[in-house]
Amino acid sequence: MRNKTGLLISVSLLLCFGLTTIWSTVPNLFWVQLGFLVIGIFVAFVFYKLDFTIAFSLSTFIYIFSIFLLVITLFFGQSIRGATRWIGIGTNQLQTSEIVKPLLALAYAGFLAKHPLNKLKNLVVYAVASLIPVFLVKSQPDLGSALVLLVLSGFMGLFARIDLRWVAAISLFSLLLIPLSPYFLKDYQRDRIESFLNPYHDPKGKGYNAIQSVIAIGSGGLIGKGVSLGTQSHLNFLPERHTDFIFASFAEEFGLLGIVLVLFAYFYLLYRLFDISNRLKDRENRLLALGILSIFMFQSVINIGMNLGVMPVTGITLPLFSYGGSSLISFAALFGMSLRLLELTPVHQI
């Protein structure tokens, strides 16, 4: 089943709804996002035409280049509101933590296919190599993107012939580290966790974002208030209405029917990515498909959950929906590779 129509329709639907919400909430950024989309289409085409055999053979170089991007961001990047996550390119900024996602997915797939994790040496090398970009991104600081990279490496590692005993040992060790986690978090990150646990403890401070998001979604009702008629977003009650909380902005204007349509589009996209990974024969391609699936799944679930108030606020964008050039270009690359992987699946197997 190589039919691309369903994938293209679901992605186009998400892009159109995202652009409509940006035009509605922050009109001056609509044309900017549209320009990013044009670049994204070109990037998707480039990655669609990518020769994975060559890319996997260059996995070490791709990994080193990704680390280089993250390191120069820390030392020479542009700081905005206390975070150093961007490198300047002319008058624009590139968020390197977004750009390295498709690159690291390629690098990890190339490594894991040749070095399965049933050998302790390979497991140690992979663990160290995958934690380096996580800590670099965490140092920017960008906890949300760091978690995405952690999930990416962990999810791909689970399907790389890893010994289940080591999985149990790593899981137990991670659980033991949980009590120490507050010492590794910034003050604002601890505030986000506290506001998630009890947003009404400080409704005008730490819990404000989560409360306003839930109010916006609830006020949309069944069919929504209509495009550009959302009061929470247009009266500036809803923060980050075109980025972190764009789903709440959309829900207020399109209602429950719009929410169901968007959720179906994401569900179909994730289902097809899983189906592609399940039918691929080559280990490299299968691992890459699983890596792409993990990024789409984690970010969409976390962002929507955050908007619904059932997940802590992390600053993770909604794939193909939120405003932001770096995010859109990154997911365009991932989607381009997905279409290429679809073509590599057996023709007659369903």
List the chain domain ranges: 5-178+187-343
Q: At what angle do helices 5-25 and 30-48 cross, to 10 degrees?
A: 160
pLDDT digits (tens, 9 = 90+) for 33-61: 999 999 999 999 999 999 999 999 999 99
pTM of the shown model: 0.92
pLDDT digits (tens, 9 = 90+) for 244-291: 999 999 999 999 999 999 999 999 999 999 999 999 999 999 999 999
Give the C-alpha separation, 301 to 306, whole Å.
Answer: 8
pLDDT band at 160 (very low <50, low <70, confident <90, very high): confident
pLDDT at 349 over 50: no
CA triple 185-62-322, angle to 5 deg = 55
Q: Which tokens sit at 264? A: 């179906």
Closest CA to 328 of 71, 29, 3: 29
For range 2-25, the mean pLDDT: 95
Cis-peptide, bond into residue 141, ω within 30° of zero: yes
How far lies 29's CA from each of 18, 45, 121, 136, 325, in Å?
12, 24, 49, 30, 11
pLDDT band at 3 (very low <50, low <70, confident <90, very high): confident
Numbers of helices and strands, H then E, in the chain: 14, 3
- Could you identify the residue written with the tokens 């990994």? 63
50-59, 146-155, 232-241: range with lowest mean pLDDT:
232-241
